[in-house]
Every structure is written in structure tokens, then in C-alpha cells.
Structure 1
Amino acid sequence: MKRESDGVHLEKPLLWSAIAVLVAGIFVADTVTSLEVAVAVLYVVVILLSVWTGSPRAIMLVGAACGILTIVSYLLTSFGDRNSGLANSVLSLVAIGATTYLALRIEAANLATRQAQADLARMSRVILIGELGTSIAHEVSQPLAAIVANGNAAIRWLGASPPNGGEARKALERIVEAAGRAGDVIGRVRGLAARKPPSREPVDLAELVQETLGLALGEIRGSQITLRTELTNLPMVSADRIQLQQVILNFIANAIDAVKADRSSERDLLVSLATDGEKITFSVRDNGVGLPQGSLDKVFDPFFSTKPGGMGVGLAISRSIVEAHGGAVYAAPNYPNGAVFGFTLPIREARS
């Protein structure tokens, strides 16, 4: 059973069932045994288990319920020394109270950690967008230029003698289409930078990759990089769309930097999706400068970077995102030169 703070869905009904069974068992055992036996101390196990709910309110309710049941059990128990039973009950209540307090502190620390991770992931997305600012500006400038050109054309057609309404209408339709493309680019950037809580929804990976490539297309063209894609039809993935887009964009941006750093006249980038029936694999293959000797096992470590001035957080965050989706990241040399970065997602996750 795994916690939500670890990025894995927690089966809460099963957890609450286990808590209820334990509470009932401890209460019965505490009631039917002698007052000299401090069975109520076992309630601390239930309180620690309640931490996995990820809810401070639930922890407090469980702790209060355990305390009340301890008192009720003491009152219902009819055999044994009352003084010893009272001492045991008081000690049990102290243990329950202390454990509840510690459990609340643990959950507060977990909440702060999750918030810090979310803020760091958002910062990484904003940094990526900044690095791809030229590409984004290029993608927006193209439809804007088309809007201006078609607007002038529409004015000319309407000002002709006689006015050519058919051609003017076509020009106006092209303006609407170009405005839609510009809006799509802006929408993708806003979605990537938005501070949204993680969510799971059906995601078409091929469509998501194409959409993400649209953000980097201007940079790819401006750097004279040959882009090739191999995107096969795949099952829908149950995932956080924005988080997966961040991972894909991070891998593509790193590959672009690696290719640009190489002085070779041939610049090549291959983005592919494939499946072997058990897992889905996304990969970005470049013919850039490649990975330095001995860095293969460390590229996904926090604060490790092979780029001058790099922060070393992008790939670390990408790994945590993919692993939270039940997958794994990988990096390998691309012979004769360059590198391959990618991730895999299990098919069972795609079918969930």
C-alpha cells in the first residue's frame, strides 16, 4: 500500500477497512482481558496507520476515537484490579495523545514537502518556457503575420470595383484560422506554466507529443535541425497531461541544446513512440555532443547537470513525474554520437 504523497494512488477504502478492523479488534481485546493488561497501547498502531490517509482531520478523528474507546473499554471491563486498570488507561491515553501529535507533525512535514515539490516542478516548467521563448515567439509571429497579410488582402478585395466578396470571405476565413493557431500556442504555454494540482485523465501520447513539438518547432527550424518523428497508435494513458508534457518538453529541449552544441553540419533529432505490448516507450534520439564519460548513472540525480550554468533539476523532476505514473526514465549513448533520453509507461497504467 503506497501513499499519495509518494505520487501513487492510495486505495483509501481498503485502508479505512483495515483501520476499522484493527480498532474493533483492539477494543474487544481490551474489554475482555484483565485490567492489568494495557492492550489499549496498541491503538498507536492505528494512529500511525491513519497517517497514510494524508488528511490531518482524519488523523485527529482516529486519535480521538481511540482515546474514547480506551475510556469506554475501561468502564466496561468488569474484572481485574481497578487501580492498575486506571493506571494502564492513563498511560494508554498519554501514548495515544503523543502518537496523534507526532502523526500530525509527520503529515504537516509531508504536506510541506509535496508543496515544495510542486513549486519546484512549476519553476522548472517556467524555466523551460523561458529557454524556448524564441521558439514560442516564432510560432506566434507566423499566424500574426498571416492575419495581417490576409487582412490587407480582404481590404483590397472589398475595395475592388466591383468588390469580390468571395475572395474577401476566403481571406477572412484564413484570418480566423491563423488566430486559432496563435491562440493554441498561447494556450499551450499558459497550460504548461499554470499552477494546477496533479490530475489524472485519458491522454493520447501521440497527440501530446505533436502538441509539445509545436512549442519547440521554431527553435528546431531556427537551429537547422532535421526533425523526424515515429509516432504509432497507442492506448490512451491515464496521466497528468501537463506533467507528462513537461517531461517531453524537457527531453526535447535538452536534445536541441546537445545538437546545437555540436559543430557538425548534420543536425538530426528523432522523436518516437512505440509499444512492445507490455509498456509504452517515448524516446528522443539526437546526434549531438553526447553524454560525458561517467555521467550516465547521474544525469537524473538532483542538481547534477552536464550543461554550463545548468541547475540540474529538470531531469530529476522528470524522473519523479514518470515514476509517479508507474514508469521509468532512461538515458543511453546514441552510436556513433549523441544520446537517447526517454521514459516507459506500463500498459496496465494506460488501461487504468
Structure 2
Amino acid sequence: MSVTDEISSDIDASLARSTARSLEIERQLAKDPSRFRILTGDRPTGNLHIGHYFGSLENRVRLASLGVETMVLIADYQVITDRDGMGPIRERVYSLLADYLAAGLDEEHVTFFTHSSVPALNQLMLPFLSVVTDAELRRNPTVKAETDDTGDRPMSGLMLTYPVHQAADILFCKANLVPVGKDQLPHLELARVIARRFDERYGRADESRPVFPSPEALLSKSGTVLGLDGTKMSKSKNNTIEIGMTAEQTAKLLKRAVTDSDRHITYDPTNRPEVSNLVNLAALCLDREPVEIAEEIGDGGGGGLKKLVTEAVNEKFAPIRERRAELVADPGHLRDVLARGNARANDIADQTLAEVRSAMKMMY
């Protein structure tokens, strides 16, 4: 059976298992966080927005605060999987690092690093590519979606091998836990299959254990925060509120957020997605229930809703924005943080690559 057949036939069962397993992992995290190493990260394609914060960043801060060893990848090479150029990559890398630190990821306990600074990580793609086929990669959900969306534009080889690169990200540091949304489960399944196939094909450096652990998913609890136009929040759609924006910029953007003509505010995501999205955003910022927020606004209409959301967002992010401004004003500190993280990631990657070469009998 091909890797894609394995993934396709098992995806529904995998989601159910992953959901149940995530609950069990949360219990284990509370008891002994030292058992886990997390790999997570983002592509530096622009500044992080509040959708990123509530969708993943807040949870990363929580996990790191528990004492879970956390590796955070700034995936600069993956910027060019679907783009012709890098853009202002240097500025975006440091902006992303400032977002992370300002949000509460502790530089003393979290390792921040970039793809391009860790050669051994990227070298793992060669043996990993040997255990998957071209056809299997083309049937991967992300690659297939890219194929369907490109039209007449040829797909790059880097885009085709994107799922394998993600597997290398996870496996180079032997991460055994990856916070993901349910749409990212196929990528994690592929990493698990690559880890297993590598051991089946090349044997083990140490017969008592595999070279790579089988990484598990920690499913995100947070729902999607929609953009200001009621569609998915996305930098490419220009419908986001960036973490680092000022209170005035935030207020201006929220004034043009889409609502509807019904003056009475209710929380009804199915029938009133735009209004409900703003209600939910206020609830997330205030740590309250959306229904309670909606009832409080009542007949206050869209204006009352936007006023409450603006106040809630600005209050929630005020300390983060203040810290971010301090970090951006000290570029030398940001460079030092990234240099230390890159050095640590290289030490880990070099050791893993040495184990891989030993397993493949390539120690000359």
C-alpha cells in the first residue's frame, strides 16, 4: 500500500484517534512535561496577526510555560515553495521573532531557528525522499490543492517536496509532539510513515530503538478567527489585524469590519458568521463566553459590537505591543536570540544526521 493510500484510508480514524490522544497527552503534560519535545513554527511571509495568536501562538506560550521543550522554526526556505522570490525576508524573519518574544515565548527556554541556518536539517530530505514516490507526493492533500490552483503555472520541485521538508523539520530534532489543526494531520501522518519506512529500509543505528520517534499530534482547541470581511483571516486578503498594530490602527480597521443589518446582536455562527466572529473575538480577548458577550450587547447593534471588540482587542494586546516595540528597537538583541537558537538547532541536527549516516552505513 502506498503512503497516500495509507493516509487516505486512515484519515477519519486518525482524526478520532488524534482527538482522543490529544486529551490524554494534555493529562500527561500536566504530570510530566519533560517527556515531550515540541516542533512548531511559521513561514516569514509577513507579520503575525491576531488569528495566528489565538489559533496557535497563545497555545505555544502555554505549552512552553508548562516546561515543555519547544523548538520554533522560522521556515524561511518554505517561503519560496509557492513564490517567485523571498521578499523582504530579513525584515520579516526578525519581525516574526519579535512577535514570538512579545507574545511570551521565553528566549531562555525556547529555541528559535531558521531553515537556511541549519544545513543538516535540509540534508535529511535526501534519505527521506528515497522512501516516498513522486506519485505519493502528488496525491498529498496540500500538494494536490496546489496542483489544482496553479492553472498553467508549473509547480516547483520545492512545492512538490513540501510535505517531506515538513517531515524533516519535525524529525531532525526528534520532536515527539506537534501542535496542529486537523487539516495538518496528513502532514504529520507522512512524517510518521517516513520515520517508520526509514527504519524498515535502512535498519537502526541502535537495535534497541528506532532512529526517529513517532511524532504525535496535539490538536488545537481554538476555532478559526475570521478576517474583517468575514472570510478566513489571511495576510494575502488584507483582512487582518496584526499583533503589532497600534490601538488607533486597530480601531480604524474594526470600523470597517463586516456585520449585518440586524441591530440585535446574537451569537449564531451558522446564520450570522460575520457578527458571530466579532463576538467570538471579544470573548477570546476577555476570556468570556460568546453567548454572554452577545447578550450583554443586545440591541447595541454593529456599532456597539465594534466598540466592545475594539476595546477588548486593544486591552488584550497592549502589553504585547509595548514589549514588541521594545524588541524592535533593539535589533542586536534579536540577532543574538536567533544566533543562539541557530547554534543549538545545528548541534541537534548534526547529531541526528550522524545517526542517520550510521544507520545507512555512510560513515567514511
| Structure exhibiting the larger radius of gyration computed from Cα positions | 1
User: TM-score, normalized by length of structure 2?
Assistant: 0.23
Whose strand fraction is larger, Structure 1's or Structure 2's?
Answer: 1
Task: Normalising by structure 1, report the TM-score.
Answer: 0.24
